[in-house]
Structure 1
């Protein structure tokens, strides 16, 4: 539970806290171009990054795509591990979209850029984590003494 707590805090601190800088002892939030950088067209950013995987921005493209997936896999593993009511496929698909929608929705209201493709990639990651949880449980049952 403690590991999940720290993981959640680290994810939310990187996705919810607005961009800021400290100047002359004052905190200045940067919301000037957030709405300009927002994407509401599904697969637009994913295809942009995918096209760049062999181009000059390959590292940025790879880390953005992989990062949006890898960083959210633990949600799909930890949530059903810690709470039995989240062990069904239907509820975890709802959770898989609810968490990234909450993050992107919050980012919209605090002036950070938002991207519908982040929701898609994060949801896929949570489902992958849930599949890993199901595999883990099955292996654990198979290795349990009979």
Structure 2
């Protein structure tokens, strides 16, 4: 299932409806694209608002489940977060190099939030499975 998730995400991030752009845009300023979406919501269509904010969060919730499940070292929050940020940075760099999608530091922030939500769900599940000691 993890492989299927990787294939789906690869398609969404690099293939589906994406062509290399001539006028490539990027954002290196944290919260530059998030703030207008939150505080100037009336400037955007609902679809744009939902896709950019919630899509970037929801699509990465499974990452927060798969990484600690597959890699024991990532069951603590700091190693998990470090690996997630490095992975997301690599995806954004790949988008920058291929000019497919756009490099946006805010995507890394929102994707990390999604991964944290998945991580919390995973941690709660693991905690609930522990049997009390006698």
Q: Does 1:41 align with 2:29?
A: yes
Q: Counterpart in 1 of 2:13? A: 15
- Post-superposition offset of 1:56: 4.8
Q: Larger C-alpha radius of gyration, 1 or 2? A: 1
- Post-superposition offset of 1:99: 1.7
Q: Does 1:5 align with 2:11?
A: no
* Counterparts of 1:56 and 1:118, CA distance in 2: 18
**Residues 56/91 of structure 1: CA separation in 2 closer, same or farther (3 Å cut):** closer
User: Structure 2 stretches of 5 or more lacking a match?
Assistant: none
Q: Does 1:106 align with 2:94?
A: yes
- Post-superposition offset of 1:114: 1.4
* Counterparts of 1:56 and 1:5, CA distance in 2: 35
More relative contact order, 1 or 2 (CA 8 Å, 6+ apart): 2
Q: Does 1:93 align with 2:91?
A: no
Match of 1:116 among 95, 102, 105: 105
User: SS of 2:30's equivalent?
Assistant: coil
- Post-superposition offset of 1:145: 9.9
Aligned residues: 132
Structure 1 residues 79-88 or 112-121, which shifts more?
79-88
- Post-superposition offset of 1:62: 2.0
- Post-superposition offset of 1:58: 2.7
Could you list the structure 1 runs, at least 4 aligned residues long, displaced by more than 6 angstroms after superposition.
none
| Structure whose residues are more often helix by fraction | 2
- The alignment's C-alpha RMSD in Å is 2.1
